[in-house]
């Protein structure tokens, strides 16, 4: 689901105030053809609910999974997806590009 940055950040703040664990994923780098530009965001709660978009297809599912790990551990991480990666077809980034997504827990 796509939303503008204000919606995403407002949701992150609202979810935290409601006592939910939250992470934000942000596209920090792209190469070649990428479905979403640098700065695109996805907010994820501890139950796997999300708002926004960092790519589309199965990449979003993989980012949600990474975000749940980040929420649990508290340790931010940088994840990359690309066609050269053997998992690229599995996660749906077959457009020939690559993206890097920074995932961090909202305190």
Specify whether the CB–CB gap between 93 and 15 falls below 8 A: no
Kindly report, residue by residue over 31-79, the tens digit of the pLDDT: 877 888 999 999 999 999 999 999 877 788 999 999 999 999 999 999 9
Q: For the residues 7-11, what does the mean pLDDT come to?
A: 90
* pLDDT in the model for residue 96: 65
* pTM for this entry: 0.85
**pLDDT number for residue 90:** 54
Distance CA 97, CA 31 (A): 5
């Amino acid at each position: 689901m796509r939303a503008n940055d204000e919606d995403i950040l407002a949701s992150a703040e609202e979810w935290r105030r409601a006592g939910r664990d939250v992470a934000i994923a942000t596209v920090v780098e792209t190469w070649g053809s990428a479905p979403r530009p640098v700065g695109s965001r996805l907010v994820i709660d501890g139950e796997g609910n999300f708002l926004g978009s960092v790519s589309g297809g199965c990449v979003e599912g993989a980012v949600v999974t990474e975000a749940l790990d980040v929420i649990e551990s508290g340790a931010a991480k940088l994840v990359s997806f690309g066609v050269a990666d053997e998992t690229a077809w599995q996660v749906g980034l077959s457009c020939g590009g690559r993206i890097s997504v920074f995932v961090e827990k909202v305190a």
